[in-house]
A and B are shown apart, each in its own frame.
Chain A
Amino acid sequence: MTDDKATLEALDLSVLPVPPGLHVLELKVDDYIDWSGEPALRVQILLDDATDIPGAGEQIDELKRAIHNQLHKHRIPLFPYIFLAKPCELTEAEADCEDSSD
């Protein structure tokens, strides 16, 4: 998790305009360096398992735009790389890790 107060405030789920119908369970922000060496942010969004990803495309667009706009509004010049996941996928990831440790 980033410890930059301004970033945490800007991307606080309680102030972020999440589009109606999109159920965001968690939003986590980490400091990040992208492939070109530029400082950036890594934003992990956990969506409800029931979310129909292709069907929610426009709503996810809106959420991503809101994240960009919030950072812009707070004069935070870092690009947010946004990653989506569902809880069931994180469980799968844990299972994969267990499998690979066998």
Chain B
Amino acid sequence: MIDDLFIQAQLLATIDQRRPKQANLRRAISAAYYAMFHCLIHEATSVQIGTQHRQAPFRRILGRAFTHSMLKHVCTSFGGGALKSTISKRLPAPFVVPQVVKDMSNSFVELQEKRHLADYDLTERFDRSDTLNLIDQARRHTQAFQNYQLSDEKRFFLACLWAWKELTSHP
């Protein structure tokens, strides 16, 4: 489904030969966002449950637990590369957020905001350049993230997608 959403996004962004229709650009942005959203959930639930086909129902049920705002909080922190000191001081030094995780995180936060504008704010006007760049950027960063080795840093990032609220509420 992740690949299909990116294909759909690209199709919508390029379907109009001349001046693109705002409706098509808006739906393109939304499709690209949901590709990234479902990728993060798939990766996080796969680490927890496993990647076997027979395990898919468990992954899908657990996937319902993720919220857009929680993913944004985690991605904003990891994208900036600086975690709260209460978290980072307990990690093995030097803890460095891999560039692949930073790129994925920053793309996700940017796309989430634009998806919100695309779906709800009719005063915003979208340009094809920005839309095509968003789709291309999201696809490349998603692929790089999926292909990146399951290092401790990546596992920790994915675990934070579940545990962030509780983790950051401790002093």
Contacts and interface: CB of A to CB of B under 8 A. Distances in A.
A93 interface: yes
A53 B140 CA distance: 14
Describe A's contact surface by its main secondary structure. Answer: mixed
Contacts of A47: 129
Contact of A53 (B110, B112, B133): B133
Interface residues on B, range: 20 to 34
Contacts of B127: 83-86, 89, 93
A25 B69 CA distance: 34
Interface string A15-49: 00000000000000000001110001000000100
Pairs of residues from A and B, 10 with the lowest C-beta to C-beta distance, nearest first? A35-B116, A89-B127, A84-B130, A85-B127, A53-B132, A57-B136, A84-B129, A53-B129, A34-B113, A53-B133
Interface in A73-95: 77, 79, 81-86, 89, 92-93
Contacts of A9: none
Contacts of A84: 127, 129-130, 133
Given A36-B69, A53-B133, A83-B130, A68 B79 contact: yes
A72 B80 contact: yes
Contacts of B76: 79
A61 B138 CA distance: 11
Interface string B109-122: 11011101100000
Nearest to B120: A35
B110 A81 contact: yes
A60 B116 contact: no
Nearest to A32: B113
20 contacts: A35-B113, A35-B117, A53-B133, A53-B136, A54-B132, A57-B140, A60-B137, A61-B137, A61-B140, A64-B137, A68-B80, A68-B106, A72-B82, A81-B114, A83-B127, A83-B130, A84-B130, A86-B129, A93-B127, A96-B19
Nearest to B134: A84
Nearest to A77: B80
A101 B65 CA distance: 45
B143 to A, nearest CB: 12
B125 interface: yes
Given A35-B117, A57-B133, A81-B114, 10 more contacts: A35-B112, A36-B69, A36-B72, A72-B81, A81-B113, A84-B129, A84-B133, A85-B127, A86-B129, A89-B129
